[in-house]
Structure 1
Amino acid sequence: MANGTNSSQTAAPGSADRLYKIIESTPVGICITDKGGIFEYVNPTYCRLYGYSESELVGNHFTMVVPEGNRDYLSQLHDDFMQQTVELRGEWAVQRRDGSIMNILADASYILDVDNEPKKVTFVMDITRRKQMEVELERTVSQLNQEIEERKQLERTKDEVEKMMRHDLRNPLNAILIATQLLMSHDLDEQQRGLVNMIQDSGQKLNYMISSSIDFIRMEEGTYHLKPRRLRVTDLVRTVMQETLPAREASEVTVSLLLDGAPMPGDAGCALEGERIHLENLFSNLLRNAIEASPQGSEVVWETLDRGDSLEFRIHNEGVIPLEIRSEFFKRFSTSGKRNGTGLGTHIAKLITSAHGGTIRFETGLEQGTTLFVELPVQQPLDESSEDFFYRSAGQTG
């Protein structure tokens, strides 16, 4: 495999083997091509997605997995990318070994190997099912277009859900790229080994979000059925802190974790019922927004308060919410002064909070900064018609 370390450097004992095993087992397809577009490495997931063996791919040009009509175009994009004149990312149609077409979400990183030769590392995810769902949704909306007004809401929300999904795909995908770039350019130490774990975690999160994007439509309509499991708050906090690590490092912002006014111990026993992936999404959005709104080098405080039947989460930063968006802070597309901001993060947070039977609000001012308050019930009501009823009534956790 190519890497970005200097030839005079040596990785920590055993670290290269551990990195190799992680990349080999990650659910994200990974390939490395040289300047001429020749495959130098493919991981097992990449081979499985395309239906080829490693020996059939390595040594051949990457356009063997591209439909014939697009080969010249993608070859030119590859050449431009290797000259670092264009960023190669987006959704593409590719061709499997059996001739079938697969839709992928791809993102590429430019690296230099030990011989200072340029390489392209590409991360690939199969989004064929999602594209099929989009086609089916469009067909359904078209059929219902002349029916009652409530049915028309499906068409109006389709594009909004797509933007919500892309908003939340960007964060874990960036984590994959940042972690990999660091690993390609440095010796592996304890922190970097932790970053490697993001590859698998973020890949799994992307897969889940692509397959479950319809959740946001149902939350918007109030028809979403929660599938709760008992979750330890410390596990939730640990995942959110890992996902926001790049944002914290970029802004040199520290995050203090408190439980009932004291530093949160790693083995704190407080827990609540909810859907892990959506609650991680909720607090990742809020904490990342707090970090990005904070002055360089300042502190964000994330406190959990045990209210008995509920848990209250407070996220405080020294920034101030602009006056012009305060009244619409939790509405779609509410944003101000944030580069590349979609204005969907707080709206998604409100949807998830409401789906869990909770409340969300904020207080902001020049002297006190901004605090987000999220209160969630410790226990969700049992739905006897749900497939989760028997699991939860038996006391099982997820």
Structure 2
Amino acid sequence: MSSNSKVSKTALDLQFIKSAFEKDNDLSYKVFNEMPIGICITNEQGFFTDVNQAYCDIYKYSSDELIGKEFTMVVPKAERPVLEKLHEDFLSKKFELRGKWTVQDKYGKKFDIVTNAAYMDGEVDKKPRKMTLVVRAKDIDDTLNKLRLTIEILESKITAQDNAKELAEHDMRNNLGAIVSIASILENSKPTEDQLKWLKMIKNIGNDTLELLEASNGYAKMEGGNYKPKMQNFDLFEVIKFQMQEIIENNVDKEISPQYFLDGRELEKEGQQLELNADRFYIKRLFKNLLNNAAEASPKKATVNISVNTDKSLLIEVTNQGLIPDTMRDNFFEKYTTAGKDKGTGLGTYIAKLITETHGGSISFKTNDEVGTTIYINFPKDMMVTD
């Protein structure tokens, strides 16, 4: 590849990144310091308001030496009037500003760079900013390789944000479906004591749906491997039983019966607990999806078994008498894997996998004609709270 074609190719890569930044200003701030190319942000007056480490490395300055100073300090004196005018025009007209320029580092050494610029509003004051993306022309070969990785990172982050809405919508669709079903029960009858119970459930489901509006950001971070669980202590059986009871009441025609086991023994005491330290909100999402799938796959009047074993790890098994179709078995935990559901999105098991792996665990399944289907959720033993 010739030098000119490399410059052109790098400019196209910078154009891709520029477009991503302009599409989502919030994304630009999130990945700012992760980029292996130089990035600076300047305000209307032409002063640096932020720079990343790669930019500092190119010009041999520290961030403290650059922020608050005029961007023309890295431009040869003869070129400063031209660059100042281009900067001003860019912020007022938002036109394209890319190409090859000669600049200088802290020690006055001149070299060429390839650039592109993105227009953005300030994160706090909403005033116009210019984000400039910089690559040393002599480092194009190395930069092209780095940009391949950079673009992959950006694409995964953008995709994660796009998919996050779908992940949250999957849970919200289930919740709204439950609300409609319960409302139908009350539609043609006067409220009774039992119906007041249904009304209370509607309120709980509505509140849960509102919580899901906050979930999409968490799902996006999980996909990017950046989510930090909000750890708190809670009773695992309380969470599982609450989710199971809701599912039973929302599927009364199926007459599903749950059975709970702890270390091989059926749970007899109503108040028996198993305290965990984990992200309660997303652990609820995990079991809501898996138990709902188990109930939907079960035949009428069947039993769903939830077994917890605390011997070598925290192993939770959810077993139902249904079978996973052959067409789904190879990609059961991937997105959009569904069969036999008119309104299924194929995201439930994918969400369960995300949440499990975010907690350092693993998830798998076994399905056969003899016992049906068992989902295995294996968490680290240190998630359990011991005296």
TM-score, normalisation: structure 2: 0.58
2:295 to 288, 291, 298: 291
1:348 lines up with 2:351 in the alignment: yes
1:306 lines up with 2:310 in the alignment: yes
After TM superposition, list the pairs within 5 Å mapping 1:257-336 onto structure 2. Answer: 257-260=260-263, 261-307=265-311, 310-336=313-339
Match of 1:185 in 2: 188
C-alpha displacement of 1:316: 0.8
Match of 1:113 in 2: none
Q: Secondary structure at the match of 1:374?
A: strand
Q: Would you say the 8 A contact 1:294–1:318 is kept in 2?
A: yes
Q: After TM superposition, where is structure 1 displaced by more than 6 Å over at least 4 residues in a row? A: 142-147
Distance in 2, matches of 1:289 and 1:137, equals 36
Match of 2:203 in 1: 200
Distance in 2, matches of 1:240 and 1:301, equals 14
Letter aligned with residue 248 of structure 2: L
Q: Would you say the 8 A contact 1:175–1:246 is kept in 2?
A: no
Q: Secondary structure at the match of 2:203?
A: helix
C-alpha displacement of 1:139: 4.3
Match of 1:169 in 2: 172
Q: Cα distance 1:342–1:259, how it changes in 2: closer, same or farther (>3 A)?
A: same
C-alpha displacement of 1:348: 0.2
Measured against aligned partners, the alpha-carbon deviations of 1:122-173 in whole angstroms (never above 9, x if no partner) come to xxxxxxxxxxxxx997444589899722022122223322111111012222
1:233 lines up with 2:247 in the alignment: no
1:215 lines up with 2:218 in the alignment: yes
Q: Would you say the 8 A contact 2:178–2:250 is kept in 1?
A: no
Q: Quote the RMSD (CA, aligned, Å).
A: 2.9
> In terms of Rg, which structure is larger?
2
Distance in 2, matches of 1:194 and 1:242, equals 13
- Could you list the runs of 5+ residues in structure 2 that have no partner in the other structure? 1-20, 32-117, 119-132, 134-146
Letter aligned with residue 256 of structure 1: Q
Q: Secondary structure at the match of 1:340?
A: coil
1:365 to 364, 368, 379: 368
Distance in 2, matches of 1:142 and 1:269, equals 45
Distance in 2, matches of 1:242 and 1:197, equals 14
After TM superposition, list the pairs within 5 Å mapping 1:1-398 onto structure 2. Answer: 138-140=24-26, 148-149=150-151, 150-189=153-192, 191-260=194-263, 261-307=265-311, 310-380=313-383
Q: Secondary structure at the match of 2:200?
A: helix
Distance in 2, matches of 1:254 and 1:352, equals 26
Distance in 1, matches of 2:260 and 2:319, equals 11
C-alpha displacement of 1:329: 0.7
Measured against aligned partners, the alpha-carbon deviations of 1:367-391 in whole angstroms (never above 9, x if no partner) come to 221101112235459xxxxxxxxxx
Distance in 2, matches of 1:303 and 1:294, equals 17
Distance in 1, matches of 2:234 and 2:23, equals 33
C-alpha displacement of 1:265: 2.6
Match of 2:107 in 1: none
Letter aligned with residue 205 of structure 1: D
Return 193-202 or 363-372, whichever deviates more: 193-202
Distance in 2, matches of 1:247 and 1:197, equals 13
Q: Would you say the 8 A contact 1:172–1:243 is kept in 2?
A: no
Q: Which has the higher helix share?
A: 2
Give percent identity, aligned residues only: 31
TM-score, normalisation: structure 1: 0.56
Distance in 2, matches of 1:222 and 1:192, equals 44
Match of 1:29 in 2: none
Q: Would you say the 8 A contact 2:218–2:227 is kept in 1?
A: yes
C-alpha displacement of 1:299: 1.9
Q: Cα distance 1:189–1:312, how it changes in 2: closer, same or farther (>3 A)?
A: farther
- Could you list the runs of 5+ residues in structure 1 that have no partner in the other structure? 1-134, 382-391
